[in-house]
Amino acid sequence: MSILKSRETILALAILALLAAVASRFPGFVAPANLARVFTDTSPLILLALGQMAVILTKCIDLSVAANLALCGMVAALMNGAGVPLPLILLAVIALGAMLGAVNGLLVWKLGIPSIVVTLGTMTIYRGTIFLMTGGAWINAHQMSEGFKAFPRAVILGLPVMAWIGIAGIAAMALLLTRTPLGRAFYAVGGNPHAAVYAGISVGRTQFAAFVLSGALAGLVGYLWVARYAVAYVDIAGGFELDVVAACVIGGIAIAGGSGTVAGAVMGALFLGIIKNALPVVGISPFWQMAISGSAILLAIAFNTLSQRDGGRIILKKAEAAE
């Protein structure tokens, strides 16, 4: 009974129902090869949702992920143009992403500014920085080296590297959250900050770590995004932070912090990914995507909040009974 009640089970059933609905008209959609394609396509969202999840667990929110991604992607493209070898580029974007995350984290940790204000601000600063660096110019496919573009698509053991990075991210995050002190700290800080302090956990430092993690993942995805779509400009992944938050909310990560699982975040991302890939197949205009993910956020948050609510206490039982 408790298994049936868990959010992850219900979400898994919702995903299966969604797949079944699409498959009833277009059986080709659920062919293994196509499902693998959908997973690969959703990998960036999964990776970002995992980072966002760590941040949300600690009662914060990171709205700067998409801008961070775009900035790191642009830096990757510029470095590639300057002839820097790919492994160095990868290291550089992850480091840069982590650094941008650290800026968010420091402002939250050292100055105690609410994360939503910090990341609303850094969101525009990071994206504006791309413009300052490039003057608004685009970097197109022909300006990128073949190796740079080919890496995320290279197939190993039947799956592209992009999908493998997604799988590695899921595994690493699952280990981090369930098997390390830092992972426990994320939950402790979000569950009850005061109790966490008394247990010897620094709330600010833990939130800082979550922002660095989210930033590093955004940096990595920045490279993957630019290499995959073979274009870099100021507005890439514009508004993607909403999809990332949506994936977490749909995945049952409590926005008040302290509760949520890797499986939930991954399935939340997959849910959105499947809808995005199924819309053109079913013949619905992609312009529906935004309204659908908005509705999905509202349904998910309503469902999660209402199912967790305790009934409250009746203080005046006699009066209640008398009515």
Candidate residues 118, 247, 262, 278; the one interacting with other proteins per rule CB under 8 A: 118
Ramachandran category for residue 144: left, alpha or beta (phi over 0 → left; psi -120 to 50 → alpha): beta
Q: Does 18 bind other proteins (CB under 8 A)?
A: no
CB atoms within 10 A of CB 194: 8
Q: Does 293 bind other proteins (CB under 8 A)?
A: yes
Q: Does 199 bind other proteins (CB under 8 A)?
A: no
Where does this chain touch other proteins (CB under 8 A) — which range of 25-33, 89-97, 139-147, 244-252? 244-252
Site string for other proteins, 260-289 (x = CB under 8 A): -------------------------x-xxx
Site string for other proteins, 67-106 (x = CB under 8 A): ----------------------------------------
Residue 316, classified by CB atoms within 10 Å of its CB into exposed (0-12), middle (13-18) or buried (19+), is exposed
CB 270 within 8 A of CB 39: yes
Q: How far apart are CA 68 and CA 64, in angstroms?
A: 6
Candidate residues 121, 143, 159, 182; the one interacting with other proteins per rule CB under 8 A: 121
**Min dist. Cβ of residue 301 to other proteins (A):** 5
Q: Does 242 bind other proteins (CB under 8 A)?
A: yes
**Cβ distance to other proteins smaller for residue 168 or 256:** 256
Site string for other proteins, 43-72 (x = CB under 8 A): ------------------x-----------
**Cβ distance to other proteins smaller for residue 85 or 136:** 136
Alpha helices by DSSP H, the chain: 2-5, 7-25, 32-57, 65-81, 86-111, 115-134, 146-150, 161-179, 181-191, 193-198, 203-229, 240-250, 262-282, 289-308, 317-322
- Helix, coil or strand: residue 110: helix
CB 285 within 8 A of CB 292: no
Where does this chain touch other proteins (CB under 8 A) — which range of 70-78, 123-131, 153-161, 224-232? 123-131
Q: Does 203 bind other proteins (CB under 8 A)?
A: yes
Q: How far apart are CA 296 and CA 206, in angstroms?
A: 30
User: What backbone phi and psi angles, to 5 degrees, belong to 239?
Assistant: 80, 5
Q: What is the CA radius of gyration of the chain?
A: 21
**Cβ distance to other proteins smaller for residue 4 or 111:** 111
- 45 Cβ contact partners less than 8 Å away, ≥ 6 residues apart: 240, 243, 244, 247, 269, 272, 273
Q: Which residues bind other proteins (CB under 8 A)?
A: 61, 107-109, 111-114, 116-118, 120-125, 127-129, 131-132, 136, 193-194, 197, 202-204, 207, 234, 242, 245-246, 249, 255-256, 285, 287-295, 297-298, 301-302, 305-306, 309
